[in-house]
Amino acid sequence: MSVVEFLTVDDFDVAGKTVFVRVDINTPVDPETGALLENHRLREASFTVKTLSKARVVLGSHQGRVGRYDYISLHQHAKTLSEILGKEVKFVEDVFGEAARERIRSLRDGDVLLLDNLRFAAEENFEFSPEEAKNTHMVRRLAPLFDLCVLDAFPTAHRAHPSIVGFAELVPTCAGYLVAKELKSLNRVVVTSKAPYTAVLGGSKVSDRLEAITALINNGRADNVLLTGLIGLVFLRAAGVLKKPLAADLEKYVSKAAAVYGEHREKFLLPEDVAVEVDGERVEVPAGEVEDAAAVRDIGEKTIKRYSKIIKSSGTIFISGPPGMFEKKGFERGTDELLLAAASSLGTSIVSGGHLSAALERLGVKDWIDHVSTAGGALVLYLAGQRLPLIEALVRSMRRVKRSEVVVR
Protein backbone atom coordinates (compact mmCIF):
# COMPACT_ATOMS: atom_id res chain seq x y z
CA MET A 1 0.00 0.00 0.00
CA SER A 2 1.77 3.14 -1.20
CA VAL A 3 1.84 6.48 0.61
CA VAL A 4 -0.59 8.99 -0.92
CA GLU A 5 0.39 12.64 -1.28
CA PHE A 6 -2.28 15.35 -1.19
CA LEU A 7 -2.92 18.86 0.07
CA THR A 8 -4.72 19.53 3.37
CA VAL A 9 -6.64 22.47 4.79
CA ASP A 10 -3.39 23.70 6.35
CA ASP A 11 -2.00 24.41 2.87
CA PHE A 12 -4.59 27.13 2.15
CA ASP A 13 -5.45 30.54 3.54
CA VAL A 14 -9.20 30.17 3.99
CA ALA A 15 -10.02 33.50 5.65
CA GLY A 16 -12.92 35.17 3.86
CA LYS A 17 -13.21 32.28 1.37
CA THR A 18 -16.32 30.23 0.60
CA VAL A 19 -15.40 26.63 1.29
CA PHE A 20 -17.41 23.57 0.35
CA VAL A 21 -16.78 20.68 2.75
CA ARG A 22 -17.99 17.26 1.66
CA VAL A 23 -18.53 15.50 4.97
CA ASP A 24 -20.17 12.16 5.69
CA ILE A 25 -22.66 12.61 8.49
CA ASN A 26 -24.83 9.70 7.34
CA THR A 27 -26.20 8.64 10.72
CA PRO A 28 -28.09 5.60 12.08
CA VAL A 29 -31.81 6.40 12.30
CA ASP A 30 -34.55 4.91 14.46
CA PRO A 31 -36.71 2.98 11.94
CA GLU A 32 -39.88 3.82 13.87
CA THR A 33 -39.43 7.48 14.85
CA GLY A 34 -36.93 8.72 12.25
CA ALA A 35 -34.79 10.25 15.02
CA LEU A 36 -30.99 10.15 14.87
CA LEU A 37 -29.66 7.38 17.12
CA GLU A 38 -26.19 8.84 17.75
CA ASN A 39 -23.89 11.65 16.69
CA HIS A 40 -20.48 10.01 16.18
CA ARG A 41 -19.97 11.10 12.58
CA LEU A 42 -21.27 14.58 13.36
CA ARG A 43 -18.68 14.96 16.11
CA GLU A 44 -15.97 13.64 13.78
CA ALA A 45 -16.95 16.15 11.10
CA SER A 46 -16.95 19.07 13.55
CA PHE A 47 -13.17 19.15 13.91
CA THR A 48 -12.51 20.28 10.34
CA VAL A 49 -15.42 22.73 10.52
CA LYS A 50 -13.94 24.33 13.64
CA THR A 51 -10.64 24.98 11.86
CA LEU A 52 -12.51 26.89 9.16
CA SER A 53 -13.87 29.49 11.60
CA LYS A 54 -12.71 32.42 9.43
CA ALA A 55 -14.27 31.03 6.25
CA ARG A 56 -17.79 30.81 4.89
CA VAL A 57 -18.49 27.12 5.17
CA VAL A 58 -20.96 25.11 3.11
CA LEU A 59 -21.44 21.51 4.24
CA GLY A 60 -22.73 18.73 2.01
CA SER A 61 -23.56 15.13 2.93
CA HIS A 62 -25.83 12.27 1.93
CA GLN A 63 -28.13 10.42 4.32
CA GLY A 64 -29.46 6.92 3.68
CA ARG A 65 -30.45 5.42 0.37
CA VAL A 66 -33.48 6.04 -1.81
CA GLY A 67 -36.47 4.06 -0.57
CA ARG A 68 -35.02 3.23 2.85
CA TYR A 69 -36.32 4.46 6.20
CA ASP A 70 -33.10 6.43 6.78
CA TYR A 71 -33.49 8.46 3.56
CA ILE A 72 -34.41 11.67 5.37
CA SER A 73 -33.75 15.39 5.41
CA LEU A 74 -30.71 16.77 7.26
CA HIS A 75 -32.54 19.31 9.43
CA GLN A 76 -31.91 17.16 12.54
CA HIS A 77 -28.24 16.98 11.63
CA ALA A 78 -28.02 20.77 11.49
CA LYS A 79 -29.53 21.07 14.96
CA THR A 80 -27.20 18.45 16.44
CA LEU A 81 -24.15 19.93 14.74
CA SER A 82 -25.10 23.34 16.15
CA GLU A 83 -25.01 21.86 19.64
CA ILE A 84 -21.63 20.23 19.01
CA LEU A 85 -20.04 23.37 17.54
CA GLY A 86 -21.62 25.72 20.05
CA LYS A 87 -22.84 27.97 17.21
CA GLU A 88 -25.72 28.04 14.77
CA VAL A 89 -25.46 25.82 11.74
CA LYS A 90 -27.80 27.26 9.16
CA PHE A 91 -29.87 24.85 7.10
CA VAL A 92 -31.45 25.12 3.68
CA GLU A 93 -34.08 22.71 2.38
CA ASP A 94 -32.38 22.56 -1.01
CA VAL A 95 -29.26 21.15 -2.66
CA PHE A 96 -28.30 23.19 -5.71
CA GLY A 97 -31.44 25.14 -6.59
CA GLU A 98 -31.86 28.91 -6.35
CA ALA A 99 -32.70 28.75 -2.64
CA ALA A 100 -29.41 26.97 -1.88
CA ARG A 101 -27.36 29.27 -4.12
CA GLU A 102 -28.90 32.41 -2.60
CA ARG A 103 -28.15 31.20 0.93
CA ILE A 104 -24.55 30.48 -0.05
CA ARG A 105 -24.14 33.96 -1.55
CA SER A 106 -25.50 35.55 1.64
CA LEU A 107 -23.02 33.85 3.99
CA ARG A 108 -20.66 35.94 6.09
CA ASP A 109 -17.25 35.02 7.47
CA GLY A 110 -17.67 32.43 10.23
CA ASP A 111 -21.08 31.21 9.02
CA VAL A 112 -21.79 27.51 8.51
CA LEU A 113 -24.53 26.32 6.17
CA LEU A 114 -25.68 22.72 5.76
CA LEU A 115 -27.30 21.79 2.44
CA ASP A 116 -30.08 19.22 2.49
CA ASN A 117 -29.47 15.53 1.77
CA LEU A 118 -27.32 15.50 -1.38
CA ARG A 119 -29.06 12.33 -2.55
CA PHE A 120 -32.27 14.32 -2.91
CA ALA A 121 -30.52 15.42 -6.12
CA ALA A 122 -30.83 12.48 -8.54
CA GLU A 123 -27.27 12.84 -9.84
CA GLU A 124 -25.78 12.07 -6.43
CA ASN A 125 -27.22 8.55 -6.59
CA PHE A 126 -24.99 7.61 -9.53
CA GLU A 127 -21.26 7.30 -10.12
CA PHE A 128 -19.43 9.17 -12.85
CA SER A 129 -16.00 9.63 -14.35
CA PRO A 130 -14.35 12.90 -13.20
CA GLU A 131 -15.07 14.48 -16.59
CA GLU A 132 -18.74 13.49 -16.43
CA ALA A 133 -19.07 14.53 -12.78
CA LYS A 134 -17.84 18.07 -13.39
CA ASN A 135 -20.60 18.50 -15.97
CA THR A 136 -23.47 17.47 -13.70
CA HIS A 137 -26.05 20.11 -12.83
CA MET A 138 -25.02 20.04 -9.16
CA VAL A 139 -21.37 20.75 -9.81
CA ARG A 140 -21.89 23.29 -12.62
CA ARG A 141 -24.32 25.34 -10.51
CA LEU A 142 -22.43 25.25 -7.22
CA ALA A 143 -18.74 25.23 -8.22
CA PRO A 144 -18.65 28.92 -9.27
CA LEU A 145 -19.67 29.84 -5.70
CA PHE A 146 -16.75 28.02 -4.05
CA ASP A 147 -13.12 29.10 -3.61
CA LEU A 148 -12.02 25.77 -2.14
CA CYS A 149 -13.36 22.23 -1.82
CA VAL A 150 -12.46 20.11 1.22
CA LEU A 151 -13.04 16.35 0.97
CA ASP A 152 -13.54 15.01 4.48
CA ALA A 153 -15.87 12.08 3.73
CA PHE A 154 -13.67 9.02 4.02
CA PRO A 155 -16.68 6.69 4.52
CA THR A 156 -17.77 7.67 1.00
CA ALA A 157 -14.28 7.60 -0.50
CA HIS A 158 -15.12 4.57 -2.67
CA ARG A 159 -18.00 6.32 -4.44
CA ALA A 160 -17.43 8.40 -7.58
CA HIS A 161 -20.41 10.64 -6.92
CA PRO A 162 -20.44 14.23 -8.24
CA SER A 163 -19.82 15.75 -4.80
CA ILE A 164 -16.77 13.50 -4.35
CA VAL A 165 -15.05 13.72 -7.74
CA GLY A 166 -16.76 16.58 -9.59
CA PHE A 167 -15.78 19.72 -7.68
CA ALA A 168 -12.13 18.62 -7.59
CA GLU A 169 -11.99 19.11 -11.37
CA LEU A 170 -13.03 22.76 -11.14
CA VAL A 171 -12.08 24.02 -7.69
CA PRO A 172 -8.80 23.66 -5.73
CA THR A 173 -9.42 20.62 -3.51
CA CYS A 174 -7.74 19.31 -0.38
CA ALA A 175 -8.26 16.75 2.38
CA GLY A 176 -9.98 17.51 5.65
CA TYR A 177 -8.56 16.39 8.96
CA LEU A 178 -10.72 13.27 9.20
CA VAL A 179 -9.42 11.92 5.89
CA ALA A 180 -5.82 12.78 6.79
CA LYS A 181 -6.20 11.13 10.21
CA GLU A 182 -7.76 8.00 8.73
CA LEU A 183 -4.98 7.48 6.21
CA LYS A 184 -2.21 8.10 8.75
CA SER A 185 -3.74 5.72 11.30
CA LEU A 186 -4.54 3.03 8.74
CA ASN A 187 -1.02 3.02 7.36
CA ARG A 188 0.30 2.51 10.90
CA VAL A 189 -2.13 -0.35 11.62
CA VAL A 190 -1.50 -2.09 8.30
CA VAL A 191 2.26 -2.11 8.93
CA THR A 192 1.78 -3.95 12.25
CA SER A 193 -0.90 -6.39 11.09
CA LYS A 194 -0.17 -10.11 10.82
CA ALA A 195 -1.84 -13.37 9.80
CA PRO A 196 -4.18 -15.09 10.16
CA TYR A 197 -6.51 -12.40 8.82
CA THR A 198 -10.16 -12.66 9.77
CA ALA A 199 -12.83 -10.53 8.12
CA VAL A 200 -16.24 -10.35 9.79
CA LEU A 201 -18.72 -8.84 7.36
CA GLY A 202 -22.34 -7.96 8.03
CA GLY A 203 -24.70 -5.04 7.66
CA SER A 204 -27.21 -4.36 4.90
CA LYS A 205 -25.03 -3.30 1.95
CA VAL A 206 -24.83 -6.62 0.11
CA SER A 207 -23.33 -5.26 -3.10
CA ASP A 208 -20.51 -3.58 -1.15
CA ARG A 209 -19.84 -6.72 0.84
CA LEU A 210 -19.60 -8.92 -2.25
CA GLU A 211 -17.08 -6.52 -3.74
CA ALA A 212 -15.18 -6.41 -0.45
CA ILE A 213 -15.00 -10.19 -0.08
CA THR A 214 -13.46 -10.64 -3.52
CA ALA A 215 -10.98 -7.79 -2.98
CA LEU A 216 -9.89 -8.99 0.47
CA ILE A 217 -9.40 -12.60 -0.64
CA ASN A 218 -7.51 -11.65 -3.80
CA ASN A 219 -5.22 -9.34 -1.83
CA GLY A 220 -4.42 -11.98 0.82
CA ARG A 221 -6.29 -10.07 3.53
CA ALA A 222 -8.84 -12.74 4.40
CA ASP A 223 -7.85 -16.18 5.65
CA ASN A 224 -11.26 -16.45 7.34
CA VAL A 225 -14.44 -14.76 6.14
CA LEU A 226 -17.18 -14.83 8.79
CA LEU A 227 -20.50 -13.71 7.38
CA THR A 228 -23.46 -12.21 9.23
CA GLY A 229 -26.33 -9.85 8.44
CA LEU A 230 -27.92 -9.78 5.00
CA ILE A 231 -24.75 -10.90 3.25
CA GLY A 232 -24.84 -13.96 5.51
CA LEU A 233 -28.36 -14.76 4.34
CA VAL A 234 -27.33 -14.39 0.70
CA PHE A 235 -24.47 -16.86 1.14
CA LEU A 236 -26.66 -19.27 3.12
CA ARG A 237 -29.00 -19.26 0.16
CA ALA A 238 -26.06 -19.65 -2.27
CA ALA A 239 -24.78 -22.63 -0.25
CA GLY A 240 -28.19 -24.30 -0.37
CA VAL A 241 -28.84 -23.98 3.36
CA LEU A 242 -31.83 -21.69 2.87
CA LYS A 243 -34.31 -23.42 0.59
CA LYS A 244 -36.81 -20.64 -0.02
CA PRO A 245 -35.95 -17.65 -2.24
CA LEU A 246 -35.00 -14.40 -0.55
CA ALA A 247 -36.64 -11.07 -1.29
CA ALA A 248 -35.95 -9.97 -4.88
CA ASP A 249 -33.44 -7.29 -3.83
CA LEU A 250 -31.33 -10.00 -2.14
CA GLU A 251 -32.02 -12.98 -4.41
CA LYS A 252 -30.39 -11.13 -7.32
CA TYR A 253 -26.99 -11.48 -5.58
CA VAL A 254 -27.23 -15.23 -4.95
CA SER A 255 -25.66 -16.40 -8.21
CA LYS A 256 -22.62 -14.15 -7.76
CA ALA A 257 -22.30 -15.25 -4.14
CA ALA A 258 -22.47 -18.90 -5.24
CA ALA A 259 -19.59 -18.36 -7.66
CA VAL A 260 -17.41 -16.72 -4.98
CA TYR A 261 -18.34 -19.36 -2.41
CA GLY A 262 -17.61 -22.19 -4.81
CA GLU A 263 -14.17 -20.81 -5.61
CA HIS A 264 -13.09 -20.04 -2.02
CA ARG A 265 -15.29 -22.35 0.07
CA GLU A 266 -12.49 -23.15 2.54
CA LYS A 267 -12.28 -19.54 3.68
CA PHE A 268 -15.96 -19.06 4.53
CA LEU A 269 -17.88 -19.63 7.74
CA LEU A 270 -21.64 -19.19 7.55
CA PRO A 271 -24.11 -18.85 10.44
CA GLU A 272 -25.14 -22.18 11.99
CA ASP A 273 -28.14 -20.60 13.66
CA VAL A 274 -29.96 -17.29 13.61
CA ALA A 275 -32.31 -15.29 15.80
CA VAL A 276 -35.71 -14.50 14.29
CA GLU A 277 -38.38 -12.18 15.60
CA VAL A 278 -41.61 -13.85 16.69
CA ASP A 279 -44.22 -11.53 18.21
CA GLY A 280 -41.46 -9.11 19.12
CA GLU A 281 -39.36 -11.75 20.89
CA ARG A 282 -35.99 -13.33 20.06
CA VAL A 283 -36.30 -16.96 18.99
CA GLU A 284 -33.25 -18.93 17.85
CA VAL A 285 -33.47 -21.56 15.11
CA PRO A 286 -30.95 -23.55 13.02
CA ALA A 287 -30.13 -21.69 9.81
CA GLY A 288 -31.51 -24.54 7.69
CA GLU A 289 -34.92 -24.28 9.37
CA VAL A 290 -35.58 -20.62 8.60
CA GLU A 291 -39.01 -20.27 7.02
CA ASP A 292 -38.98 -16.52 6.44
CA ALA A 293 -35.57 -14.88 5.99
CA ALA A 294 -37.18 -11.46 6.39
CA ALA A 295 -37.76 -12.28 10.07
CA VAL A 296 -34.04 -12.87 10.79
CA ARG A 297 -32.67 -10.18 13.12
CA ASP A 298 -29.35 -11.57 14.40
CA ILE A 299 -26.96 -14.51 14.44
CA GLY A 300 -27.62 -17.23 17.02
CA GLU A 301 -25.70 -18.32 20.12
CA LYS A 302 -23.84 -21.22 18.46
CA THR A 303 -22.63 -18.93 15.71
CA ILE A 304 -21.62 -16.24 18.20
CA LYS A 305 -19.48 -18.71 20.17
CA ARG A 306 -17.88 -20.18 17.05
CA TYR A 307 -17.10 -16.79 15.52
CA SER A 308 -15.82 -15.36 18.82
CA LYS A 309 -13.33 -18.22 19.18
CA ILE A 310 -11.93 -17.59 15.70
CA ILE A 311 -11.74 -13.83 16.30
CA LYS A 312 -9.76 -14.27 19.51
CA SER A 313 -7.23 -16.55 17.81
CA SER A 314 -6.64 -14.25 14.83
CA GLY A 315 -3.60 -12.09 14.16
CA THR A 316 -5.68 -9.36 12.51
CA ILE A 317 -9.43 -8.87 12.87
CA PHE A 318 -11.49 -6.64 10.61
CA ILE A 319 -15.18 -6.15 11.40
CA SER A 320 -17.49 -4.17 9.11
CA GLY A 321 -21.25 -3.99 9.46
CA PRO A 322 -23.40 -5.17 12.41
CA PRO A 323 -24.36 -8.90 12.57
CA GLY A 324 -27.97 -8.00 13.23
CA MET A 325 -30.52 -5.31 13.98
CA PHE A 326 -28.59 -4.20 17.04
CA GLU A 327 -30.75 -1.11 17.57
CA LYS A 328 -33.72 -3.38 18.34
CA LYS A 329 -33.85 -4.63 21.93
CA GLY A 330 -33.04 -8.33 22.18
CA PHE A 331 -31.16 -8.49 18.90
CA GLU A 332 -27.97 -6.66 19.86
CA ARG A 333 -26.32 -9.83 21.22
CA GLY A 334 -24.42 -10.82 18.09
CA THR A 335 -23.05 -7.32 17.57
CA ASP A 336 -22.02 -6.92 21.19
CA GLU A 337 -20.37 -10.32 21.60
CA LEU A 338 -18.30 -10.16 18.41
CA LEU A 339 -17.10 -6.65 19.24
CA LEU A 340 -16.16 -7.74 22.76
CA ALA A 341 -14.26 -10.70 21.30
CA ALA A 342 -12.28 -8.33 19.06
CA ALA A 343 -11.64 -5.94 21.94
CA SER A 344 -10.24 -8.73 24.13
CA SER A 345 -8.17 -10.31 21.34
CA LEU A 346 -4.39 -9.96 21.31
CA GLY A 347 -4.48 -9.46 17.54
CA THR A 348 -4.67 -6.18 15.65
CA SER A 349 -8.32 -5.07 15.52
CA ILE A 350 -10.01 -2.79 13.01
CA VAL A 351 -13.69 -1.90 13.27
CA SER A 352 -15.47 0.10 10.60
CA GLY A 353 -18.78 1.80 10.05
CA GLY A 354 -20.89 4.28 11.98
CA HIS A 355 -23.20 1.63 13.44
CA LEU A 356 -20.36 -0.35 14.99
CA SER A 357 -18.62 2.81 16.22
CA ALA A 358 -21.80 3.63 18.13
CA ALA A 359 -22.00 0.09 19.53
CA LEU A 360 -18.38 0.25 20.73
CA GLU A 361 -19.08 3.48 22.58
CA ARG A 362 -22.15 1.97 24.21
CA LEU A 363 -20.10 -1.04 25.32
CA GLY A 364 -17.30 1.18 26.61
CA VAL A 365 -14.52 -0.68 24.76
CA LYS A 366 -13.79 1.69 21.91
CA ASP A 367 -10.29 2.38 23.25
CA TRP A 368 -9.52 -1.35 23.18
CA ILE A 369 -9.75 -1.43 19.38
CA ASP A 370 -6.59 -0.57 17.44
CA HIS A 371 -8.42 1.43 14.78
CA VAL A 372 -12.04 2.54 14.72
CA SER A 373 -13.19 4.11 11.48
CA THR A 374 -16.39 5.84 10.47
CA ALA A 375 -15.94 4.23 7.06
CA GLY A 376 -17.42 0.92 5.97
CA GLY A 377 -17.04 -0.15 2.35
CA ALA A 378 -14.35 2.46 1.68
CA LEU A 379 -12.16 1.07 4.44
CA VAL A 380 -12.54 -2.50 3.21
CA LEU A 381 -11.47 -1.58 -0.29
CA TYR A 382 -8.58 0.55 0.96
CA LEU A 383 -7.28 -2.34 3.08
CA ALA A 384 -7.61 -4.57 0.02
CA GLY A 385 -5.44 -2.21 -2.00
CA GLN A 386 -8.22 -0.85 -4.22
CA ARG A 387 -8.15 2.62 -5.78
CA LEU A 388 -10.57 5.04 -4.11
CA PRO A 389 -12.17 7.86 -6.16
CA LEU A 390 -11.89 10.42 -3.33
CA ILE A 391 -8.17 9.85 -2.89
CA GLU A 392 -7.60 9.96 -6.63
CA ALA A 393 -9.50 13.26 -6.77
CA LEU A 394 -7.20 14.68 -4.08
CA VAL A 395 -4.11 13.58 -5.99
CA ARG A 396 -5.35 15.06 -9.28
CA SER A 397 -6.20 18.35 -7.60
CA MET A 398 -2.79 18.56 -5.91
CA ARG A 399 -1.07 18.13 -9.25
CA ARG A 400 -3.36 20.69 -10.87
CA VAL A 401 -2.78 23.23 -8.08
CA LYS A 402 0.98 22.81 -8.31
CA ARG A 403 1.01 23.11 -12.11
CA SER A 404 -1.03 26.31 -12.00
CA GLU A 405 1.12 27.67 -9.16
CA VAL A 406 -1.92 28.53 -7.06
CA VAL A 407 -0.65 30.31 -3.97
CA VAL A 408 -0.89 28.16 -0.90
CA ARG A 409 -0.01 29.18 2.59
* Residue 74: pLDDT band with limits 50, 70, 90: very high
Cβ(379)–Cβ(373) below 8 Å: yes
pLDDT digits (tens, 9 = 90+) for 156-193: 999 999 999 999 999 999 999 999 988 888 877 777 78
Q: Regarding predicted confidence, which is higher, 280 or 145?
A: 145
pLDDT digits (tens, 9 = 90+) for 193-221: 899 999 999 988 898 889 889 888 988 88
Q: Is residue 370 part of a domain?
A: no
Please determine, for residue 127, whether its predicted confidence score (pLDDT) is greater than 90.
Answer: yes
pLDDT value, residue 386 = 81
Does 154 lie in the same domain as 241? no
Does 207 lie in the same domain as 127? no
* Residue 408: pLDDT band with limits 50, 70, 90: very low
Lowest-confidence pick of 111-115, 166-170, 187-191, 289-293? 187-191
Does 155 lie in the same domain as 201? no
Domain end, chosen from 313, 328, 346, is at: 346
CATH of the domain at 103: 3.40.50.1260
Q: Is residue 308 part of a domain?
A: yes
pLDDT value, residue 4 = 64
pLDDT value, residue 208 = 82
Q: Which helix (H) or strand (E) holds 48?
A: helix 40-51
Q: Is residue 358 part of a domain?
A: no
Quick one: average pLDDT of 3-13? 86
* Residue 1: pLDDT band with limits 50, 70, 90: very low
pLDDT value, residue 406 = 52
Q: Is residue 352 part of a domain?
A: no
Total domains, the chain:
2
pLDDT value, residue 364 = 95
pLDDT value, residue 187 = 79
SS3 269: strand
* Residue 102: pLDDT band with limits 50, 70, 90: very high
Q: Is residue 61 part of a domain?
A: yes
For residue 28, the one-letter residue type is: P
Does 211 lie in the same domain as 171? no
Please determine, for residue 59, whether its predicted confidence score (pLDDT) is greater than 90.
Answer: yes
Percent of the chain residues topping a pLDDT of 90: 78
Highest mean pLDDT, choosing among 298-302, 370-374, 397-401: 298-302
Give the separation between CA 309 and CA 338, rounded to whole angstroms.
9
Does 233 lie in the same domain as 91? no
pLDDT value, residue 407 = 47
Does 223 lie in the same domain as 151? no
Does 149 lie in the same domain as 200? no
Find the domain containing 224 and state its range. Answer: 195-346
Q: Is residue 187 part of a domain?
A: no
pLDDT digits (tens, 9 = 90+) for 256-273: 999 999 999 999 999 999
Q: Is residue 367 part of a domain?
A: no
Q: Where are the beta strands (DSSP E) in 188-301?
A: 197-201, 224-227, 268-269, 273-278, 281-286, 296-299
Does 236 lie in the same domain as 87? no
pLDDT digits (tens, 9 = 90+) for 359-395: 998 999 999 999 988 787 788 888 887 889 999 999 9
pLDDT value, residue 409 = 45
In what order do the strands lie in the sheet containing 296-299?
Answer: 281-286, 273-278, 296-299
Q: Where are the beta strands (DSSP E) in 223-359?
A: 224-227, 268-269, 273-278, 281-286, 296-299, 316-320, 348-352
Does 238 lie in the same domain as 141? no
Does 334 lie in the same domain as 282? yes
Does 154 lie in the same domain as 36? yes
Does 80 lie in the same domain as 34? yes
